[in-house]
Chain A
């Protein structure tokens, strides 16, 4: 076996030769392709896949909607009227229903620029329920592009600003989707929640991919004892029910007293909890991917091109990394896309149980839904607390649609 680092010059030469020969073939192929294209019959692989994909209407819609959602998460600070943790102490605004936006001027009965009224809170003398009445004495028009220097924000953690898309003057407030128990604006927190809930899945999938590629690739390629060992490990992880493993790992690891946290001096700030959740999700999810990649490589290493590379003296690592793993690419892309929804649901579930990022300085859609289950809350009086479930639904739906579209586009048997 040739050493990976001190490669035999002959090997390089041989490969160069093959590469050169291949480039000639490619050249003539390219010529053939041009001729064929001039007759309107042949297209490149990427173009075929793209055309197949763009015919998949639902996947396109899903893709665009995902772009929209990720953009709202990036520009959460600008789109939200309030700061993430902004709330008023006295008088509090807990459990405010969505603020009604008025379009019709009551004096003239004509369409006017949208405005809101200030809301006065009182208690029903019999049921002790909170009652909110609009104070119709003053109109507060909704202003666009307002500056609120008291609540600056950063976009992507870099660009500082205090410009907000819309807002109203004090003492009126605008809560498009109501407020939670502490009087924090649900609309604002849903926008900020996307920053956590939408990205955790994306990052966790990379952790799973890295582990899966590395271990699955090694297992499939080397076989024998290593293979047995790795596959046993996969089985062990798969044997423990996923939800329990997730809950145990998340709840024990986020305890700042655990030896891992102490070894790295972690305080379990919100960003550290975030990273922890990413790793826990990836750790629970890598097994399936490793198994798929191993199976792929087991079959691919017997194929002619792998044998040819080997016969030309390419090192095992080179065959693995340059020839075999790229051949799994389309399959991996599809299964990654289709596994992202699972990670998103995993994060929201953990947050829903209170095992995700903390309420204090972050937001997450699962965490917001947790507000609706707090003790002493009857959901029929605060139905707007369920709104954060809708973006979860949409994100998972769109990722599924996108994944299905990609799968069909990559699959030659499904060509239309």
Chain B
């Protein structure tokens, strides 16, 4: 029982990280670093929860996705069109998201840091597997977003490896000049990559607020956007690798919740995901192969 409970909790915990990591793959593969994922997740969480409060969870999740994507478009305008430092733009968006959320929460709910409780989607029992008692914690009353997120892993792999869009997206991130010479619209692809990453981050936020917690709480993203970037790097910019890395993070976090050791102060337990992120990055980066032109603004000569 314990083991399957823990795996179930690891899967729930890993979800925001997984969605952020998958989104980051689209953005980075197109050549744009998106450190603003955290802010997009916060935005998605707040507007998702707010919409769910007034209009139900389906519309809530939709608005979460859209608000994340909208925020990502700001990042695209700044970093793709105006070619500003992508890190600076992302950091600015994180600040903006934090302030805007508090502002909106105070204006709408008269509370700066939370929304009221919101309804969630009906849970799903996976057929056949639900009959196995051992697996029950993992496969019953599952959030549909969890199923969607894990389906997005092979989907992302398929899009990147097997579609024209994916090929062009990767070309924009590896060698934008060559891609441009062949008639690929590098800027449009980078806009698409960034927008998709924002949509995924928004969904992650919506999941956290609507499905996982049942309300928006300030600070609920707890760095998942950044950890998602680390998971993407650890997974070597590949969807399956990113999923495994996300599960590792989810497991560590689930573990820290379950192992409430009397001797270890809870402040140290709270540090586990962050320490793990640093350790993972320290070990991962040497063998990592990022897209060749990620972080470099593309400028058509003669413009």
| Bind each other | no
A interface list, Cβ under 8 A from B: none
B residues contacting A by CB (< 8 A) are none
